[in-house]
Amino acid sequence: MTECFQTILSKRSSGLKGQIYIPSDKSISHRALIMGSLAIGKTSIFRLLESDDIFKTVNGLKALGVDIYKESDKWCVHGVGVGGFCEPENIIDCGNSGTSVRLLMGLVSTCPIKVTFTGDDSLRKRPMDRVINPLSEFGAIFSSNHDSKLPINVIGSNDPIPINYNLQIPSAQVKSAILLAGLNVRGKTTVLENEPTRDHTEKMLKFLGAKIQIEKKGSSNNISINGFPKLNPGIISVPGDISSASFPIALACMIPNSELIIKNVGLNPLRDGFVETLLEMGANIKIQNKNIEAGELVADLHVCYSPNLVGVEVPEDRSARMIDEYPILSILAATATGPTIMKGIEELRFKESDRIEAIADGLEKNGVFITKKNDQLTVFGKGNQKIKGGSIINASNDHRIAMSFASLGSITENSIEIRGASSIKTSFPNFIDLMNCIGLNIIALKD
């Protein structure tokens, strides 16, 4: 496999063809490892995503005393049971992974142990008060020298009390941190989410035998869990990641003569906003062979070149269902006819980079007109006109920005150079090889 190089050059490509499997779902992989560590006995995970972010969760759980190893094609997790974690000897470094740090903080906050978490430059800049605030209500104590940012010391509560928390921002990471903390608390913990977010935690808890109540109130959800559920070890197969699939989907739509089949993609109804938006734009996508695996909907996607894409308005209430796909949607929108208006996307400012600025800046540099507000981005699609390209993009170690501009380079008049591309290995380690294999033209430049 071509290593993920720091600097890559993406050149104009012609028709993509093939049938591919994309890497496994990152969110579900984190949760499979975490839930496996909470069940007593051996959980086997097939098709675990083997990427940097997931290895951070593996290492964090190992530091907490969980035995995890790979055995031929499966990963084995010997769970220690709810509340069974031991105090780590060293700092837990979560690298670039927001999901690792926020979910692990949830896990340890109701265990009577002390843990210090840190991360890379990007993760140390990201807000952690969103998890510190609810987790403190359980009785955990958090301290940081940097405005509630990493490095953070956690002293887990030895007598945690259940909480009732109204989520202020739509975040599956925060919701999951609270539910995981609630597992080690006597009584009922409830999270109220006003805007539903990905529910992989709830689905996997159910799959392993926990009772979780979900009460719908209009468009809101009241999610409750009773402490100390019996979690059974199980066999989990992780579906392909729709967020990773979004790159070949967009590429097949915008490169003439493309036809791709992407197998076994997770289509959880709280993650399918990207496909819905593309269908509204006129994309040629067919969903085939639907199936359920470990409680999750999976399907094959048949995608063909879509020459008549039109700009659309993406409503605010869809943003949680496609939060990681706005960068690549913006690239596709640049090729559509008319403006694409993306509303209610302020959360993009708190990802691995400020993605609104990164997309806006990168598109402008390559000859695409945009306008932006704090929580909104409009991309003025060029339709049949050519896009100039030719710029150097600094992806600021943000994998989705790197892959998005590598995708743009495949249709611009001039090649696009992307720096900070090694971040791609956090979620899609074989991106360059797999995309080149179906017809893209990405080359690694000497660093």
Residues that bind ligand S3P (CB under 6 A): 27, 99, 171-173, 176, 198, 323-324, 347
Minimum distance of ligand S3P from residue 108's CB (angstroms): 17
Minimum distance of ligand S3P from residue 130's CB (angstroms): 8
3-class secondary structure, 10: strand
State both tokens at 273.
């906003």
How far from chain centre, in Å, is Cα 372?
Answer: 23
Using CA atoms, how far apart are residues 116 and 130, in angstroms rounded to an integer?
17
Closest to ligand S3P by CB, 111 or 172: 172
Minimum distance of ligand S3P from residue 70's CB (angstroms): 22
Q: Cis before residue 151, ω within 30 degrees of 0?
A: yes
- Closest residue to ligand S3P, judged by C-beta, is 27
State both tokens at 358.
């990164």
324 counts as catalytic: yes
Minimum distance of ligand S3P from residue 400's CB (angstroms): 9
Backbone angles phi, psi at 379, to 5 degrees: -110, 125
Closest to ligand S3P by CB, 300 or 347: 347
Closest to ligand S3P by CB, 323 or 393: 323
Going by C-alpha positions, the residue among 102, 95, 87 that lies closest to residue 34 is 102
On whether the CB atoms of residues 85 and 113 are closer than 8 A, the answer is yes
Minimum distance of ligand S3P from residue 173's CB (angstroms): 3
Minimum distance of ligand S3P from residue 172's CB (angstroms): 4
3-class secondary structure, 209: coil
Ordered strands of the 313-314 beta sheet: 313-314, 337-343, 376-382, 370-373
Using CA atoms, how far apart are residues 167 and 423, in angstroms rounded to an integer?
30
On whether the CB atoms of residues 239 and 266 are closer than 8 A, the answer is yes
How many other C-beta atoms can be found within 10 angstroms of the C-beta atom of residue 256?
A: 11
Closest to ligand S3P by CB, 51 or 335: 51
Using CA atoms, how far apart are residues 62 and 216, in angstroms rounded to an integer?
37
On whether the CB atoms of residues 224 and 203 are closer than 8 A, the answer is no
3-class secondary structure, 225: strand
3-class secondary structure, 81: coil
Closest to ligand S3P by CB, 355 or 419: 355
Minimum distance of ligand S3P from residue 175's CB (angstroms): 7
Spell out the alpha helix ranges (H) of 64-112: 98-109
Closest to ligand S3P by CB, 243 or 366: 243
Closest to ligand S3P by CB, 255 or 265: 265
Which of the following is catalytic: 52, 53, 324, 398? 324
CA max distance for the chain: 64
Catalytic residue numbers read 324
